[in-house]
Structure 1
């Protein structure tokens, strides 16, 4: 899980820099915020799974589903807060950054391990 979170952080930085070069400062900030909307909930979910795995009983399906619900709710809350508080959102950069960071774990699926 840590590799996925680190990959998402790196992807957020790369997408933010590309958006900044193509669209200027508003696109840079919007892309950064879009990536954060993906990374923070996933990091909280991974932390919750890690903590529950350390318990004597281990994890159970309800822990996973409750964590997934919290992850989705946190994502929506962050997006809502950004839209409400940051009125200069560059929508294309924000949405594309979120989607690219969300799907960046596909890179790990195609990684060849010897």
Structure 2
């Protein structure tokens, strides 16, 4: 799980740098904030699963579904807060960065391990 979070952080920084080169500083900040909307909820979800797996009873489906609900709610809350508070938002950079970071775990799926 840690590798996925680290990969998402790296992808967020790369997407922000590309957005910054193409659209300037507002696009860079918008892309960073779009990535944060994905990385923070996923990190909280991974931490919750990690801690529940260490308990004597282990994980159960309700832990997973409740964690997924919290992840989605946190994502929407972060997006709403950013849209409300950051008035110079570049929507294209924000949404594209969110999507790229969200789907970055596909890179790990295609990685071959010997």
> Please, what TM-score do these two structures have when normalized by structure 2?
1.00
Tell me the SS of whatever aligns to 1:87: coil
Tell me the SS of whatever aligns to 1:112: coil
Mapped partners of 2:30, 2:95: distance in 1: 9
Shift of 1:109: 0.3
Shift of 1:53: 0.3
Partner of 2:52: 52
Mapped partners of 2:49, 2:105: distance in 1: 18
Number of aligned pairs? Answer: 114
Shift of 1:46: 0.1
Partner of 1:41: 41
Q: Runs (4+) of structure 1 moved beyond 6 Å?
A: none
1:108 equivalent to 2:82? Answer no
Tell me the SS of whatever aligns to 2:40: helix
Shift of 1:72: 0.1
Shift of 1:98: 0.1
Partner of 1:10: 10
Matched ranges for 1:70-89 at <5 A:
70-89=70-89
Shift of 1:85: 0.3
* Structure 1: gaps spanning 5 or more residues: none
Partner of 1:99: 99
Over aligned residue pairs, what C-alpha RMSD do you find? 0.3
Shift of 1:21: 0.4
> Please, what TM-score do these two structures have when normalized by structure 1?
1.00
Partner of 1:61: 61
Mapped partners of 2:75, 2:87: distance in 1: 18
